[in-house]
Amino acid sequence: MNGVYFFGDDGSGRIWAMQQVSPGDWVSSEKLDTPYNISAFGEDEGGDLYVVDLGGQILKIVSSAPPAPPDFSPTTKEASTGTVQSRDALTYTIVLRNAGGQFSNTVRLTDTLPAGLIYVTDSFTATLGTLDASFAPTLTWHGSLSATNVITLTFAVTVSAVNTRPSRTLSSLTQVSARYSKDRQRLS
């Protein structure tokens, strides 16, 4: 339930969840219709969510269905130009997005440069997360990524082979992976 704001109505007992789908854009939906007079929500050290009834009952919110796995298919990789010559410089931009379920574990991206491209030292940047270019031509990034944020990574290369054509789409050379944990959304 990372990145989800829960709220309720003490009169009707209904519980809603609100989630940011893009910067400044929030979507809410009703999650539960309970017989309780909701007075508060709380979270323990382990990240479990609780709701408190006006009568003093404390109830844990848990999932009744498995969450959707992360989906990195909207992730894109673009080259700054489509045609290059030997010794030309170009920049790759990878925009990492998750259109799938919420998860709270680390995402790892690995990009291996093809033959004919030489990584420009210290050019690897990201809006969030941790970068490692020490094994260039294999570049790695890891960090957190929810369904609400976008991570942009850029790096520069120099063309060493004549008539090298940069790829404008994600290929098998770019890999994104994540382990995810199941979130909870049901009262028990």
Within a 13 Å sphere around the CA of 113, how many CA atoms are in the beta-carbon half?
26
Q: What is the 3-state secondary structure (H, E, C) of 129-166?
A: CEEEEEECCEEEEEECCCCCCCEEEEEEEEECCCCCCC
Give me the domains of the chain, ranges plus CATH numbers.
Answer: 4-62 (no CATH), 76-178 (2.60.40.740)
Residue pLDDT tens, the chain, 188 long: 667 888 898 889 999 888 876 667 778 888 888 899 999 998 888 778 899 999 889 988 876 666 677 788 889 999 998 788 888 899 999 999 888 776 656 788 999 998 888 999 999 999 988 999 999 999 999 887 766 678 999 999 998 875 545 544 333 356 776 644 433 334 43
The per-residue b/e assignment along 37-67, b for 16 or more CB within 10 angstroms, e otherwise, is bbeeeeeeeeeebebbbeeeeebebeeeeeb
Nearest to 129 by CA among 116, 117, 141: 141
Compute the distance between CA of residue 132 and CA of residue 137 in angstroms, rounded to an integer: 11
Q: Are strands 186-187 and 117-119 parallel, antiparallel or unpaired?
A: unpaired
Nearest to 113 by CA among 92, 131, 128: 92
